[in-house]
């Protein structure tokens, strides 16, 4: 372990040049450039740039309030829903800036799904929770197709065996871990190409967490996943790349192994070794 | 796998957006409709009622002598006499009694015209005798006819002569009734709320009280009238039509309003205030009396004012306990027969003469301005003093 | 003696005596404190303790005597009662004063007294409900002892004419309440078909679409609508809306009565709009935002989210609001008294005149019938039905709302 520089002030914000693309040979799914976000007068992101690799899991870590959720919610414009929010910069997805005026948010969100910190199943049956979006998006019209899709999504989410006999039960009757997997199944039912997850395991016990982590690992075959987590082991376990956020900036962004074993920045090291408040 | 994703709306999405637009339009339409009702209602009331705030007055010479004191309508010139409200002639003997020096003199005065003349001048009815019309027009051209502020609307009691009818007895009656409501429902309501919010154990009985209060808030008001009639009047012998009977009945209706808002105000005071006070040795009651109540006072007063305003507009239960009596003179005690503003409005709305229509609308405008003032006070109180934790 | 005089003497005596009792209790506590014994409570608390024990017997005697007098029982003369009350006060004072000792927990005693006072206050609301039930039930039972419940519930002819005479029971009177309930139902139906859509959609607009500014403007406006007294709505219905309905009906070649059921129904609907909208607004706002975000994140539009996620989730609450609205409409009195007819009329046509339960209650009890004339008693029977129906609706909606609140807390 390196010695700590006692003269350095660790609270001072230093704009470090971030590695926008950790590895050259990886295909990029989303490109974020100079993203700045204000909530009213308060600036939450100070010009963040980052490339998200395709079919990989990218983890966002950092102390509470550093802007991880804010960043994540900018990727599918969930932040548009908050009054008094101002967003500057570009987020490129499929060669289009998603903040360009001709982009339609509703369309965008059907391609970039999201799973939230607290499981939020709709107050409908398990079946309807999953069938809801494909139905309104007009993706599936036939009943049998829909049944297949529901089964497929539940299987992908590793929930099928537990609920296959009670698809008409309310989604809220499931346990917390099951609810979260239901929400994941719901999100992948519309086959988005990117899946954003904001602390998906924070409300779950270790067993349910392990199930979800395994699921994430399987999903990365077909999906690009960006996950916010406070659990550093989790980031190490599931993510190929990790970004460390601090006070609205990316301090360090690289493949997970090097970030955890050879952090280049002192702040990163302090954080991952638990010396940060 | 996701080649060719475009982020502009697809055909299918455009269709969904049309549904979106339609739905939003329905919602806006509903709100606009509700607002339109409000506007329509107020313009209608103002249109009907504004004219009652002024009255036609005619300048005439009044002669006081032995004859005119007896045959009072001879005190003015014969042709003008039928234009003047009967209410004036009645006052002559009293006036001469009070001022004996008037005897044998003539004075020029502006007198209130009859309702017929007034309605004709205001363009509501054309049913005025042609001869009278001619006289009126002549006086008008001489500048002896004009509109004056109808102070009688505020300062005289009810009357069978429309030009003389006013709201004074109703004001006094409403005032008495509100005093009773305040005296009864405020202490009991606040005490109940304190009990339920601060002391009551969470058991079946308490839940029963709570449900009962919520139900009382929704019981049709007329049933409170039946209660007032059967219990206060027939059983306890409170005088019928009295402000006391009305006030007691309305108190029971106001009680749930005060309880519910007081509970909300108490609930808004954070728990740590109570704990803080108790931590320095105050008892539960002392903590409530010295810390919680002062902090929740604005909320409690706001709720009370709103409850009072509601009671002030209530009519149905009062009909059953006889508060639609004809009350020309303001009551002087709680046990005398009285009327209240909404009941007076109801009585006037049932009068056959056309002049009462504008009087009713004017009464409504007065009542509404009182209620709006009360409610605005409540809102200001809330915004001014309410603390956000 | 006059009532007011008695009261004057009673309280005129009691208040100074309480002050004296307070001073005595406090002084005794102060003295024994000075003498070196540590008192449990503050001196003033002993004062309050003594004053309370002095006032209570006097008040109790006064209240018992007053209620007995109101009930028409034989009561001793006022001076006697007054002196008896004073005597009670003196005894209370003596006992309480003697009990002022260092070990007496005056503060706890006061608190206990406060607790029971508050508890007693909370019983008033229960008594009110009992009062309503009793006052209606007795007269209604008298009515049903003379008219069969079956005839009342199923009869289609309401014409109370004759008076009850011994031996000749209501021969010519007909108390079939169906037309009254039909009229009530029709007007309620009209009212709710205005109030529910308009109220609910405005609530949706205000909670989901409107900007902060529109909301702060529209909400008070709706509250004004809610604050308008019913007598005013009644006048509006009778003087403006009814003639309007007649004219519009004429325009379409229909005939409408001037006391048609449509006008009071429409106006009642307007009256109930703010009621529905503010309750629905609360309910919609209590749906957690995470549900909305969940739907948006799947690519749902706003109206899809509202219609398919928010409204179903809020359904129990909205349902409860609608039931409360119906309960209001059923019991609304002034609008129908002023704008609906008096003639019991069994019809489906809202352009005809119809009468309602509340109209007949008012009509029966404001006329000059004797208090136990059949029509008066019938009014209480109608009141009983109204009470039972609205109570059921209120209870269902109160319980549904409670459950709903709990599930989203
Ligand atoms: N809706 C909002 N309105 C105002 N400020 C906000 C809002 N949401 C977030 N913020 C502020 O923006 C900053 C970044 O918040 P963000 O939620 O992105 O942090 P985070 O890294 O996700 O924290 P956590 O780990 O606690 O979830 C914080 O200072 C927060 O207070
Ligand atoms: Mg977060």
Question: Could you write out the DSSP letters of every residue in A199-245?
Answer: STTTTS-HHHHHHHHHHHHHHTTT-EEEEE-S-HHHHHHH-SEEEEE
Q: Do C53 and C182 belong to one domain? A: no
Q: Where are any strands of DSSP class E within C258-400?
A: none
Nearest C-alpha neighbor of A89 from the set A36, A52, A133:
A36
Q: Do C109 and C252 belong to one domain? A: no
Domain of B205, CATH number, reads 1.10.3720.10
Answer whether residue B342 is part of any domain: yes
| CB contact set of B4 (below 8 Å; sequence gap of 6+) | none
CB pairs under 8 A between B and C: 262
| CB contact set of B199 (below 8 Å; sequence gap of 6+) | B284, C115, C118, C119
Asked if B7 is an interface residue toward chain A (Cβ–Cβ < 8 A), one would say yes
The residue nearest atom 16 of ligand 1, judged by CA position, is A67
- Tokens read off for B300: 């409690």
Q: What Rg value do the Cα atoms of chain C yield, rounded? A: 30
**How would residue C237 be classed by pLDDT, with cut points 50, 70 and 90?**
very high
Nearest-CB residue to B8 (from A93, A107, A137)? A107
- Span C105-128, average pLDDT: 89
Whole-angstrom distance, CA of residue C52 vs CA of residue C251 = 74
On average, the pLDDT of chain C sits at 87
A95-98, long-range: CB < 8 A, 24+ apart: A96/B6, A96/B7, A98/B7
Q: Do C216 and C122 belong to one domain? A: no
The residue nearest atom 7 of ligand 1, judged by CA position, is A39
DSSP-derived 3-state class of residue C338 = helix
Last residue of a domain, one of C135, C166, C197: C135
Q: C345 to each of C151, C159, C179, C242, how far by Cα in Å?
A: 17, 11, 6, 18
| pLDDT for residue A17 | 43
Residue B271, classified by CB atoms within 10 Å of its CB into exposed (0-12), middle (13-18) or buried (19+), is: exposed
Nearest C-alpha neighbor of C371 from the set B247, B226, B337, B238:
B226
Residue that is written with structure tokens 């004419």 in the block: C161
Of B66 and A58, which is predicted with more confidence? Answer: A58
**How would residue C409 be classed by pLDDT, with cut points 50, 70 and 90?**
low
First to last CA, chain B: 52
| pLDDT for residue B147 | 87
Ligand 1 pocket: which of A35, A36, A67 to mutate (most atoms within 8 A of CB):
A67
Q: Do B61 and B87 belong to one domain? A: yes
Contact B23 C303 (CB under 8 A): yes
- The subunits that touch chain C, with at least 3 C-beta pairs less than 8 Å apart, are A, B
Answer whether residue B65 is part of any domain: yes
**How would residue C310 be classed by pLDDT, with cut points 50, 70 and 90?**
very high
Of C166 and A233, which is predicted with more confidence? Answer: A233
Last residue of a domain, one of B115, B150, B185: B150
CA of C313 to the centre of ligand 2 (A): 26
| Residue A69 near ligand 1, beta carbon < 6 Å | yes
Q: A28-118+192-272: which CATH topology?
A: Rossmann fold (3.40.50)
Q: Do B359 and B226 belong to one domain? A: yes
DSSP-derived 3-state class of residue A7 = coil
- Domains of chain C: total: 2
| pLDDT for residue C382 | 93
pLDDT at C123 over 50: yes
| pLDDT for residue A38 | 94
CA–centroid distance for B171 within its chain: 9
Whole-angstrom distance, CA of residue B263 vs CA of residue B296 = 9
Asked if B16 is an interface residue toward chain A (Cβ–Cβ < 8 A), one would say yes
Q: Do B234 and B282 belong to one domain? A: yes
Whole-angstrom distance, CA of residue A73 vs CA of residue A30 = 14
Is B148:B110 a contact under the CB 8 Å cutoff?
yes
Q: Do C12 and C61 belong to one domain? A: yes
- Tokens read off for C312: 């179903």
Q: B242 to each of B101, B140, B226, C379, how far by Cα in Å?
A: 42, 46, 16, 22
Is B173:B331 a contact under the CB 8 Å cutoff?
yes
Of C295 and A208, which is predicted with more confidence? Answer: C295
Asked if A206 is an interface residue toward chain C (Cβ–Cβ < 8 A), one would say no
Answer whether residue C158 is part of any domain: no
Answer whether residue B219 is part of any domain: yes
**How would residue A203 be classed by pLDDT, with cut points 50, 70 and 90?**
confident
Q: Do B320 and B275 belong to one domain? A: yes
Residue that is written with structure tokens 């537990």 in the block: A162
Q: Do B140 and B174 belong to one domain? A: no
Query: Which pLDDT tens digit goes with each residue over C382-392?
Result: 999 999 999 99
Residue that is written with structure tokens 């590695």 in the block: A19
Whole-angstrom distance, CA of residue B133 vs CA of residue B120 = 9
pLDDT at C170 over 80: no
Ligand 1 pocket: which of A44, A72, A227, A249 to mutate (most atoms within 8 A of CB):
A44
CA angle C260, C262, C267 (to 5 degrees): 115
Tell me which ligand sits closest to the C-alpha of residue A62.
1
Is C121:B187 a contact under the CB 8 Å cutoff?
yes
Boundaries of domain holding C267: 174-404
**How would residue A227 be classed by pLDDT, with cut points 50, 70 and 90?**
very high
| pLDDT for residue A202 | 85
Answer whether residue B160 is part of any domain: no
Q: Do B97 and B190 belong to one domain? A: no
Q: What is the DSSP letter of B124?
A: S
Q: Give ipTM to 2 decimals.
A: 0.90
Answer whether residue B12 is part of any domain: no
Asked if B105 is an interface residue toward chain A (Cβ–Cβ < 8 A), one would say no
- The subunits that touch chain A, with at least 3 C-beta pairs less than 8 Å apart, are B, C
Contact C387 B252 (CB under 8 A): no
| pLDDT for residue C68 | 75
Tens place of pLDDT per residue across chain B (389 aa): 444 677 888 888 889 999 999 999 999 999 999 999 999 999 999 998 888 888 888 888 888 888 877 887 778 887 888 888 888 888 888 888 888 888 888 888 888 888 888 888 888 877 788 888 888 888 888 888 888 888 888 888 888 888 888 999 999 999 999 999 999 999 999 999 999 999 999 899 999 999 999 999 999 999 999 999 988 988 888 888 899 999 999 999 999 999 999 999 999 999 888 888 888 878 888 889 888 999 999 899 999 999 999 999 999 999 999 888 888 888 888 888 999 999 999 999 988 888 898 899 999 999 999 999 999 998 888 888 766 66
Q: How many CA atoms lie within 13 A of C282 on its CB side?
A: 15
- Span C312-317, average pLDDT: 93
- The subunits that touch chain B, with at least 3 C-beta pairs less than 8 Å apart, are A, C
Tell me which ligand sits closest to the C-alpha of residue A230.
1
> Cα distance from B279 to chain A (closest Cα, Å)?
32
Is C71:B231 a contact under the CB 8 Å cutoff?
no
- Domains of chain B: total: 2
**How would residue A23 be classed by pLDDT, with cut points 50, 70 and 90?**
low
Q: Do B191 and B84 belong to one domain? A: no
| Cα torsion A261, A266, A267, A272: sign | positive
Query: Which pLDDT tens digit goes with each residue over C63-76?
Result: 888 777 766 667 77
| pLDDT for residue A74 | 93
- Tell me the Ramachandran region of residue B237: left when phi exceeds 0, alpha when psi lies from -120 to 50, beta otherwise: left
Whole-angstrom distance, CA of residue B82 vs CA of residue B116 = 10
* Full-model pTM: 0.86
Which range scores top for mean pLDDT: A9-13, B227-231, C148-152, C228-232? C228-232
| pLDDT for residue B343 | 95
Boundaries of domain holding B229: 168-385
CB pairs under 8 A between A and C: 65
Whole-angstrom distance, CA of residue C161 vs CA of residue C166 = 16
Is B346:B167 a contact under the CB 8 Å cutoff?
no
Whole-angstrom distance, CA of residue C319 vs CA of residue C400 = 9
| pLDDT for residue C80 | 83
Q: Do B190 and B284 belong to one domain? A: yes
pLDDT at C158 over 80: yes
Contact B1 A93 (CB under 8 A): no
Whole-angstrom distance, CA of residue A217 vs CA of residue A198 = 16
The domain segmentation of chain A, as residue ranges, is 28-118+192-272
Whole-angstrom distance, CA of residue A133 vs CA of residue A149 = 11
Nearest-CB residue to B20 (from C115, C303, C331)? C303
Of C202 and B331, which is predicted with more confidence? Answer: C202
Query: Which pLDDT tens digit goes with each residue over A146-193?
Result: 999 999 999 988 889 899 999 999 999 998 889 999 999 999 999 899
| pLDDT for residue B112 | 86
Of B186 and C12, which is predicted with more confidence? Answer: B186
Asked if A118 is an interface residue toward chain C (Cβ–Cβ < 8 A), one would say yes
| Residue A82 near ligand 1, beta carbon < 6 Å | yes
Whole-angstrom distance, CA of residue C112 vs CA of residue C93 = 19
Strands of the sheet containing B106-112, edge to edge, are: B106-112, B54-63, B145-149
| CB contact set of B205 (below 8 Å; sequence gap of 6+) | none
Residue A154, classified by CB atoms within 10 Å of its CB into exposed (0-12), middle (13-18) or buried (19+), is: buried
- Span C270-275, average pLDDT: 95
Number of H helices, E strands in chain C: 16, 2
| pLDDT for residue A21 | 53
Query: Helices B243-268 and B293-312 sit at what angle, rounded to 10 degrees?
Result: 140
């Amino acid at each position: 372990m390196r010695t700590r520089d006692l003269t350095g002030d660790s609270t001072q914000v230093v704009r470090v040049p971030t590695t926008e693309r950790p590895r050259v040979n990886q295909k990029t799914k989303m490109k974020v450039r100079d993203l700045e976000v204000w909530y009213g007068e308060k600036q939450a992101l100070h010009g963040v740039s980052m490339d998200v690799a395709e079919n990989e899991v990218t983890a966002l870590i950092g102390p509470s309030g550093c802007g991880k959720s804010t960043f994540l919610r900018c990727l599918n414009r969930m932040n548009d829903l908050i009054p008094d929010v101002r967003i500057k910069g570009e987020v490129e997805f499929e060669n289009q800036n998603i903040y360009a005026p001709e982009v339609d948010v509703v369309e965008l969100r059907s391609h970039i799904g999201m799973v939230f910190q607290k499981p939020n199943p709709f107050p409908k049956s398990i079946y309807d929770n999953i069938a809801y979006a494909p139905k309104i998006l007009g993706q599936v019209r036939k009943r049998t197709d829909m049944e297949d899709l529901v089964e497929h999504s539940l299987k992908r989410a590793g929930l099928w065996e537990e609920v296959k006999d009670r698809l008409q039960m309310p989604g809220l009757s499931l346990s917390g871990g099951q609810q979260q997997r239901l929400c994941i199944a719901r999100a992948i039912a519309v086959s988005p190409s990117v899946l954003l997850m904001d602390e998906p395991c924070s409300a779950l016990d270790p067993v349910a967490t392990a199930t979800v982590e395994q699921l994430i690992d399987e999903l990365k075959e077909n999906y690009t996943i960006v996950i916010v987590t406070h659990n550093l082991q989790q980031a190490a376990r599931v993510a190929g790349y990790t970004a460390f956020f601090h006070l609205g900036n990316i301090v360090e962004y690289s493949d997970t192994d090097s970030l955890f074993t050879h952090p280049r920045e002192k702040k990163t090291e302090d954080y991952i070794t638990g010396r940060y408040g | 796998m996701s080649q060719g994703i475009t982020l502009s709306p697809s055909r299918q999405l455009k269709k969904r957006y049309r549904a979106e637009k339609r739905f939003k339009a329905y919602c806006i339409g509903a709100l606009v409709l509700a607002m339109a009702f409000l506007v329509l209602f107020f313009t209608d009331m103002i249109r009907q009622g504004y004219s009652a705030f002024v009255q036609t007055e005619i300048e005439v010479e009044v002669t006081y002598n032995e004859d005119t004191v007896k045959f009072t309508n001879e005190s003015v010139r014969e042709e003008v006499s039928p234009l003047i409200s009967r209410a004036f002639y009645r006052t002559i003997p009293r006036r001469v009694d009070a001022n004996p020096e008037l005897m044998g003199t003539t004075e020029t005065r502006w007198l209130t015209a009859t309702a017929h003349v007034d309605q004709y001048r205001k363009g509501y009815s054309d049913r005025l005798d042609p001869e009278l019309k001619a006289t009126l027009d002549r006086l008008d051209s001489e500048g002896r006819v004009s509109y004056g502020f109808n102070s009688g609307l505020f300062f005289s009691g009810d009357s069978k002569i429309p030009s003389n009818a006013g709201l004074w007895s109703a004001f006094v009656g409403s005032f008495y009734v509100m005093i009773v409501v305040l005296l009864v429902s405020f202490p009991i309501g606040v005490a109940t709320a304190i009990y339920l919010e601060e002391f009551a154990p969470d058991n079946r009985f308490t839940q029963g009280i709570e449900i009962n209060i919520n139900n009382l808030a929704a019981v049709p008001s007329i049933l409170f009238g039946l209660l007032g009639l059967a219990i206060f009047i027939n059983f306890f012998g409170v005088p019928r039509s009295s402000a006391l009977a009305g006030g007691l009945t309305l108190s029971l209706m106001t009680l749930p309003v005060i309880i519910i808002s007081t509970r909300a105000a108490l609930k808004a005071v954070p728990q740590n205030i109570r704990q803080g006070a108790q931590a320095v040795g105050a008892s539960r009651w002392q903590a409530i009396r010295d810390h919680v109540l002062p902090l929740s006072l604005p909320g409690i007063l706001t709720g009370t004012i709103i409850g009072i305003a509601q009671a002030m507009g209530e009519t149905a239960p009062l009909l059953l306990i006889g508060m639609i009596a004809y009350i020309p003179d303001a009551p002087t005690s709680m046990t005398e027969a009285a009327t209240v503003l909404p009941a007076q409005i109801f009585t006037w709305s049932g009068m056959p003469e056309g002049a009462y229509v504008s009087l009713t609308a004017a009464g409504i405008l007065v009542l509404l301005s009182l209620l709006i003032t009360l409610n605005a006070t409540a809102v200001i109180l809330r915004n001014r003093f309410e603390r956000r934790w | 003696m006059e009532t007011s005089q008695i009261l004057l003497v009673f309280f005129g005596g009691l208040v100074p005596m309480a002050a004296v009792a307070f001073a005595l209790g406090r002084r005794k506590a102060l003295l024994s404190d000075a003498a070196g014994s540590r008192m449990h409570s503050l001196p003033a608390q002993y004062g309050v303790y003594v004053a309370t024990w002095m006032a209570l017997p006097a008040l109790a005697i006064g209240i018992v005597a007053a209620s007995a007098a109101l009930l028409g029982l034989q009561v001793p003369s006022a001076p006697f009662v007054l002196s008896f009350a004073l005597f009670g006060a003196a005894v209370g004072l003596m006992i309480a004063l003697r009990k002022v000792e260092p070990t007496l927990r005056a503060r706890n005693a006061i608190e206990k007294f406060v607790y029971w006072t508050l508890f007693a206050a909370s019983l008033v609301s229960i008594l009110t409900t009992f009062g309503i039930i009793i006052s209606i039930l007795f007269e209604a039972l008298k009515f049903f002892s003379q008219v069969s419940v079956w005839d009342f519930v199923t009869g289609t002819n309401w014409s109370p004419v004759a008076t009850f005479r011994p031996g000749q029971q209501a021969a010519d009177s007909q108390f079939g309440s169906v037309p009254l309930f039909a009229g009530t139902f029709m007007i309620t139906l009209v009212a709710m078909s205005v109030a529910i859509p308009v109220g609910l959609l405005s609530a949706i607009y205000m909670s989901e679409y409107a900007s902060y500014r529109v909301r702060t403007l529209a909400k008070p406006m709706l509250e004004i609508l809610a604050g308008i007294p019913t007598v005013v709505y009644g006048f509006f219905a009778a003087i403006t809306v009814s003639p309007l309905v007649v004219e519009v009906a004429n325009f379409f070649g229909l005939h409408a009565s001037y006391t048609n059921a449509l006008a009071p129904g429409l106006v009642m609907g307007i009256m109930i709009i703010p009621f529905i909208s503010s309750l629905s607004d609360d309910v919609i706002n209590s749906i957690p935002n995470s549900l909305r975000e969940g739907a948006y994140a799947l690519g749902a539009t706003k109206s899809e989210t509202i219609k398919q996620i928010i409204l179903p989730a809020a359904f129990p609450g909205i349902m409860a609001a609608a039931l409360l609205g119906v309960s209001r409409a059923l019991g609304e009195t002034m609008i129908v008294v002023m704008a609906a007819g008096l003639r019991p009329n069994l019809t489906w046509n809202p352009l005809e005149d119809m009468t309602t339960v509340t109209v007949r209650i008012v009509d029966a009890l404001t006329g000059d019938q004797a208090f136990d004339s059949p029509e008066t008693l019938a009014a209480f029977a109608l009141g009983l039905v109204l009470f039972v129906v609205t109570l059921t609706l209120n209870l269902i909606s109160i319980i549904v709302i409670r459950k709903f609140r709990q599930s989203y807390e």
